[in-house]
Amino acid sequence: MQTVSSNISQSEAASDHEVSSVEMMRYRFGQWLKSPRPYLMLMGLGLFFLFWYLTTEVFKLPRFEKLPGPGQVLTEWFSPDPVYGISIYVPEYYQHIWKSVFRVLEAFGLATLLGVPLGLFMGWKKTFKDYTFPIVETLRPIPMLAWVPLAILMWPGREAAIVYLTFLAAFFATTLNTLLGVESIDEVYFRAARCLGSKPRHIFFKVVVPGALPFIFTGLQISMGVAWFSLVAGEMLAGEYGLGYLIWNSFVMVQYPIIVIAMVTLGFIGWISSALIRFVGTLLMKWKVREAQ
């Protein structure tokens, strides 16, 4: 009976926690709508489109006269019968999107699985850092384009080479931000844990990991953005599908509205992916959110 009652109380506590989380999210969303932020964002987008329209379609200023205007781009983008063959009604458009998203998710996942543990151990064990940090710092400044020949030699086939190039950029950003997160933890927490008799594994999971989480998620946001522009560079050189390939192929074929369509699509998807990472980080670090309030 006691076991049953304890299970019931635990389930009730879990349900109450879920309800409170949902209510908190609704409250924050309502507060965000009441603030000037969303309206300033819309105003900023409106001013950008106005500037784009005036420089390309009205005044046709130097260096802007060859660029497609918003009217031309939107007409092509939402046309059931597009002139250049790419719009929201064409399945090929979504094939390019899916291919790029799949490559980024694959590279980002590998970078997270390898970069976060490596950064944690580099920050936790000074001897391990002495071995690995010089290697990371030597390889990190090398541009992604310089890795292209080696990537093709190491990974036969275009697909693996593109994912590898995307992985490298995200890996270094994730690793170094995680390392910085561990090094930012006050030494007092480590001494207190040792005085209380904590074993090394307890210190790692109870002090190191939670203390580095804010920096880890900052690094994940940076690595996601880096992964996207590294992916575009890889797809331009060796891709058959993807938004980067679409941008380069449209430039070669003199289909300038498609270039802008692919760029805006790329930016929008990158924005959503970074927002999802921030959302997950907020859920995992509610203590940090409460601390900031």
Inside any domain, residue 154: yes
> Would 39 be classed as within a structural domain?
no
Structural domain contains residue 61: no
Question: Is 177 part of any domain?
Answer: yes
Identify residue 61 by its one-letter amino acid code: L
Give a yes or no: residue 205 inside a domain: yes
pLDDT band at 282; cut points 50, 70, 90: confident
- Contacts for 206 with CB less than 8 Å, ≥ 6 apart: 193, 198
| Within-domain flag for 25 | no
Q: Write out pLDDT tens, residues 140-199.
A: 999 888 888 888 888 877 888 899 999 998 999 999 999 999 999 988 988 888 888 888
Residue 150 lies in domain = 68-292
Amino acid at position 264, single letter: V
Position 113 pLDDT exceeds 90:
yes
What is the model's pTM?
A: 0.84
CA 121 to chain centre: 23
Domain membership of residue 254 (yes or no) is yes
Which pLDDT tens digit goes with each residue over 224-278?
999 998 898 888 876 788 999 999 999 999 999 999 999 999 999 999 999 999 8
Q: How many domains does the chain have?
A: 1
Residue 219 included in any domain: yes
At residue 8 the predicted structure's pLDDT band, cuts being 50, 70 and 90, is very low
**Which are the contacts of 164, defined by CB distance < 8 A and separation ≥ 6?**
107, 147, 151, 154, 155
- d(C-alpha 131, C-alpha 134), whole Å: 7
CATH code of 77's domain: 1.10.3720.10
